[in-house]
Chain A
Amino acid sequence: MTTQPVKFYQTGTFTVGNRLLDESQRSVQANMERTNSLNSGHRACQGCGEALGARYAIDAAMRAAGNQLVAANATGCLEVFSTPYPETSWQVPWIHSLFGNAAAVASGIAAANRVKGRKGVQVIAQGGDGGTTDIGFGCLSGMFERNDDVLYICYDNEAYMNTGVQRSSATPPAARTATTPAVGKRPGNVAGTGKNLPLIAMAHGIPYVATASVANLHDLEAKVTRAMGISGARYIHIHVPCPLGWGSAPADTIKVARMAVESGLFPLIEAEHGEVVDRAKIRHRVPVDEYLKLQRRFAHLFRPERDTERLAMIQAVADRNIARFGLM
């Protein structure tokens, strides 16, 4: 990830102001060249992190591939809100087959491209955390170990949002979902469960693994661009807040995503062939409380009284990430 020293922050937010950056480093939200691969008019909720992440990721991929891109999509919010027949938001050739097979479908497309001699046509698979870490995990792992020429992007909103906010193996500890309700002695998701897919992807030894956040779109675009320049299996895991499922304000999507990064709960890293090669340093560390308080799914950690034990446990997760990946 390319960085440059930046001396000024926007007041109060600690984001890097786009206009403070060098021209070449800026994220461009609208211009004539932008492909708008995921076009406006889709049915995503207000403040949807996934729609934002997908728009930037696929546009960056399109730029990198010279518009020679094919996308496979798992069943989920992204698929449902983007293709209410006969309308489609996709300006790229796009296929949705099943919930659990996006990686395999993409492998098939890549194989067809090879055999047909379509040089330069690149393949992306995308899915939510359910379609990636749970039901699609077998196909994803198969695609990784074969080192198929596919970039898989997971939009992680930490639960099955499309079916009504049920727990996935990416749901964080203590989070309230429809299947880990905020009732009983220890409300919300059980601690000590779940899986870390970026690390699992790295364990496959694939050429490139990265995490990204919609709080840092320029970093996200840079990682997608980087991934598109590498052949073989690649994986990018993007943290995308879901206002509906998380109980956060639609206007706070970027803020919530940023708090996840700045608290250390969602480290931004890059890895090559199983080794971490870069990480985004936290500029302004915040306690996990700051992140959790913005979301009703964690409200039971603060009311009726502070759940000091579990808040400490979540803080320990963040601390461990910071130490493990050298985020400070």
Chain B
Amino acid sequence: MLKQIEGSAAVAESIALCRPEVVCAYPITPQTHIVEGLGEMVKDGRLSPCEFINVESEFGALSVAIGSSAAGARTYTATSSQGLLFMAEAVYNAAGLGLPIVMTVGNRAIGAPINIWNDHSDSMSMRDAGWIQLYAETNQEAADLHIQAFRLAEELSCPVMVCMDGFILTHAYERVDIPTQEQVDTYLPRFEPRQVLDPAEPVSIGAMVGPEAFMEVRYLAHYKQLRALERIPQLADEFKAGFGRDSGGLIRSYRFEDAETIIVALGSLNGTVKDVVDEMRDAGVKIGCVSIVSFRPFPLAPLRAALERAKRVVVLEKSLAVGLGGIVSDGVRKSLSGIVLKGYTVIAGLGGRAITRSSLRQLFERAGRDELEAVTFLDLRTELVDRELERERHARRTGPTAEALLRDIGTVASRID
């Protein structure tokens, strides 16, 4: 059913259709509206049977989820930013135990300085925790990916993180087609756990493993993700057959066949990128783009196939590997092993810095002339940086950096140019 609906509300409805049995909630912006929506549905009985548990922290949230999932209940939680980091130990643990929990990450920057706006620093920090990570481009896809996520998680007994850009998606109202219960029930079978805490068949879960088998347990986690590389496209095809639209898959390519320049990005940014690609195509520029939907497992082969004929690849990243540059770029370059082409990393949109069409157009044009450096910071306000560096050259006690920069800017700290 078509609805004009907030992204978080759409995701909440989609989750409810998946019949979760335990939902753990701890508030953190910008993820809160999702669990608020689910909480209301549990409270008024629309979502039943389901236990909605208000926990005392994100660490508690995922820990409750670990318990309920190990006891055989379909389990969901959501978080963002500091919350994801606060539960980090449990994030690795859930994956190590092979528990098919689905968690939404409403992507948000990590402090300090504290910042509630969108970038991908949070989920990127957990990229190697053993969770599958899917990035939604639109709210429709965010809603759809959760349905696929439960199917994938439970099939592989592996947790799945569905990442959706904070505010840009979570708080945006747009048209979303909410599927019917019948459609979801047909697509998503009952949860049959691989392991369950059952007094009739007592097992010990989470025993200590020494050097004699730890490597093998870790390898099997890796193997699961390699299996997911096969299953994710199949599940997207099946989804299309049942729901009538493209959602998910490993990557999505756009106007890339004869492209000399290909832009690679994750999440909602791809909407803006496609607009700029269209503009430049109209002007005769051979440019295209690739959206990475599945960041874990990382789709090396499909990326290679999409990028290998290009002259240059620009990886747009909403996270920064401090001291290195890009995180996504590493994977992209690995996918192109042995192929000679120009690769550029562009760090953009950190802490919610707007990524505008005009900035992207200029960026892509410079890329086309191969004028970019290996790592570029899009729309970096160099005058602010220079002023702070100047201060630091002249005085020892310059005080907190963030405050100094804000004083330089004046009161409209979060102005979008």
Contact = CB atoms under 8 A, between A and B. Distances in A.
Interface of A: 67-70, 72-73, 79-80, 83-86, 88, 90-98, 100-101, 104-117, 121, 138-139, 141-142, 145-146
B63 interface: yes
Contact of A67 (B54, B64, B199): B199
B210 A109 contact: no
Chain A CB within 10 Å, residue with most, of B49, B51, B54, B203: B51
Chain A CB within 10 Å, residue with most, of B49, B56, B64: B64
Contacts of A68: 199
B50 interface: yes
A107 B63 CA distance: 9
B213 interface: yes
B49 A115 contact: yes
5 smallest CB-CB distances across A and B, nearest first, come from A108-B67, A142-B56, A112-B71, A104-B63, A101-B63
B68 interface: yes
Interface in B153-211: 197-199, 201-210
A79 to B, nearest CB: 7
Contacts of B89: 98, 100
B53 interface: yes
A114 B57 CA distance: 22
B100 interface: no
B60 interface: yes
Given A72-B67, A139-B60, A108 B22 contact: yes
Interface string B68-109: 111111010000000000000110010001000000000000
Contact of B199 (A93, A97, A141): A93
Given A70-B197, A85-B209, A98-B89, A105 B204 contact: no
A308 B213 CA distance: 54
Interface residues of B, number: 43
9 contacts: A70-B197, A73-B206, A97-B66, A101-B63, A104-B66, A108-B68, A109-B67, A117-B49, A145-B56
Chain B CB within 10 Å, residue with most, of A90, A91, A105, A108: A108
B60 A142 contact: yes
Contacts of A86: 207, 213
Contact of B71 (A108, A117, A142): A108
Chain B CB within 10 Å, residue with most, of A73, A92, A106, A109: A109
B41 interface: no
Contacts of B317: none
Contacts of A109: 67-68, 70-71, 197
Chain A CB within 10 Å, residue with most, of B90, B197, B204: B204
Given A107-B67, A111-B68, A142-B57, A94 B93 contact: no
Contacts of A67: 199
Nearest to B64: A108
A69 B199 contact: yes
Given A92-B202, A142-B55, A108 B208 contact: no
Contacts of B73: 108, 111-112, 115-116
A45 B49 CA distance: 46
Given A98-B93, A112-B68, A138 B205 contact: no
A88 B70 CA distance: 18
Given A93-B198, A111-B22, A116-B21, A138 B67 contact: no
A308 B380 CA distance: 68
Given A69-B199, A101-B59, A104-B60, 11 more contacts: A88-B204, A93-B201, A95-B66, A95-B205, A96-B207, A97-B63, A104-B64, A105-B63, A109-B68, A111-B67, A138-B59
B65 A108 contact: yes
A83 B15 CA distance: 37
Nearest to A67: B199
A112 B197 CA distance: 10
B208 A80 contact: yes
Nearest to B97: A97
A86 B210 CA distance: 10
Contacts of A83: 204, 206-208
